[in-house]
C-alpha cells in the first residue's frame, strides 16, 4: 500500500487521537462512573451518542451529555475541547462556546456518581468542563492545575475539603462555579492570579473567613 507523503502527518495525528485521547476518555468514564459513552464511534464524528443538542423549548428538561472537538487544526488533528455532563431545563445553561470550527458528537446521560476525573488532565486541549448537577464526590484533582481551562463548573455535587489553591494556576479561567458543594475553609488567596476571571460562584458551601485581598486583582470579575 502506498501513501502520499503529505498525508502521513495527518494520518499520524489521527492515529494519535485514537490511541491517546480515546484511552483518556476510557479512564475519565471509569472515574466519573459514566457507562454510556459508545467507544465504537469516533467522538469527533458527529455521532448521536456523543452529542446532545440544546432543548428547543426552555421548559424541556434534558440530560446534556456532550463531547466537542476542535477539528480546525491545519494538520488535520481533532482535539477534545469541551465536556458537558449535566441535567438542565434551561437553554441558557448550555455554555456559550464557539462551535464554528468544531465537530460535536448525543449520548444518553445518567447521573454521575463517581469522582472528578484526574485523567481529564490527559486531554491537553480541553477548555470547557461542565459537570454540575450530578453526585460526584471527593476533591478537585491536583492534576487539573496543569490544564488551560476557560470554563469549569462542578456546582451542585458533593465535592468536599478545602477549595484548592492550585486552581489559581489555571490562569486561563474565565468562568468558575463551585457552588452548592461541601467545601469548607477559606477562599484561597491564589485565586488572585485568575486575572481573566469574569464569573466566580462559590455560594452554598461551608466557607469561612474574609475575602482575600488578592481578589482585588480580578478586574474583569462581573459576578
pLDDT by 10s per residue, the chain, length 223: 333 444 445 566 666 666 788 899 999 999 999 888 888 888 887 665 677 665 555 545 456 678 888 888 877 778 888 888 765 444 344 444 443 343 333 223 347 899 999 999 999 999 999 888 899 999 999 999 999 999 999 999 999 999 999 999 999 999 999 999 999 999 999 999 999 999 999 999 999 999 999 999 999 999 7
Residue 215 has φ and ψ, to the nearest 5°, of -65, -15
Q: What pLDDT does 35 receive?
A: 85
SS3 47: coil
pLDDT of amino acid 53: 64
**CATH class, 5-217 region:** alpha beta
Q: How many residues does the chain have?
A: 223
**Strands (E) located in 35-135:** 62-70, 79-88, 102-104, 128-130
- The pLDDT value recorded for residue 64 is 64
CA distances from 28 to 58, 85, 118 (A): 30, 12, 8
Q: What is the pLDDT of residue 116?
A: 95
Q: In angstroms, rounded to a whole number, what is the distance separating the alpha carbons of residues 149 and 152?
A: 7
> Are 212 and 186 a contacting pair, CB within 8 Å?
yes
Joined together, the cell numbers standing for residue 200 give 466566580
33 contact partners, CB below 8 Å, separation of at least 6: 112, 113, 114
Q: What is the reported pLDDT for 115?
A: 96
Sort 50 into a burial class: Cβ within 10 Å, 0-12 / 13-18 / 19+.
buried
Cα gap 145→147, rounded to integer Å: 6
pTM, to two decimals:
0.81
CB atoms within 10 A of CB 66: 25
Check residue 1 and give its pLDDT: 37
Q: Return the pLDDT at 36.
A: 82
- What is the C-alpha separation between 27 and 61, in angstroms, rounded? 28
- Distance, in Å, from the CA atom of 10 to the CA atom of 76, rounded to the nearest integer, reads 5
Amino acid at each position: 500500500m502506498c501513501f502520499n507523503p503529505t498525508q502521513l502527518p495527518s494520518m499520524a495525528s489521527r492515529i494519535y487521537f485514537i490511541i491517546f485521547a480515546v484511552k483518556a476518555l476510557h479512564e475519565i468514564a471509569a472515574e466519573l462512573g459514566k457507562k454510556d459513552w459508545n467507544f465504537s464511534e469516533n467522538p469527533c464524528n458527529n455521532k448521536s451518542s456523543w452529542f446532545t443538542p440544546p432543548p428547543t423549548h426552555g421548559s424541556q428538561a434534558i440530560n446534556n451529555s456532550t463531547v466537542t472537538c476542535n477539528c480546525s487544526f491545519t494538520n488535520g488533528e481533532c482535539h477534545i475541547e469541551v465536556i458537558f455532563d449535566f441535567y438542565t431545563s434551561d437553554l441558557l445553561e448550555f455554555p456559550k462556546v464557539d462551535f464554528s470550527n468544531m465537530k460535536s458528537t448525543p449520548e444518553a446521560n445518567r447521573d454521575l456518581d463517581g469522582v472528578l476525573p484526574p485523567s481529564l488532565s490527559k486531554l491537553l486541549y480541553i477548555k470547557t468542563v461542565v459537570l454540575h448537577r450530578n453526585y460526584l464526590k471527593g476533591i478537585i484533582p491536583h492534576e487539573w492545575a496543569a490544564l488551560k481551562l476557560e470554563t469549569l463548573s462542578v456546582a451542585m455535587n458533593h465535592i468536599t475539603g478545602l477549595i484548592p489553591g492550585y486552581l489559581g494556576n489555571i490562569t486561563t479561567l474565565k468562568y468558575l462555579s463551585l457552588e452548592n458543594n461541601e467545601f469548607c475553609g477559606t477562599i484561597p488567596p491564589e485565586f488572585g492570579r485568575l486575572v481573566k476571571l469574569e464569573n466566580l460562584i462559590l455560594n452554598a458551601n461551608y466557607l469561612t473567613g474574609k475575602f482575600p485581598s488578592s481578589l482585588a486583582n480580578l478586574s474583569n470579575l462581573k459576578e
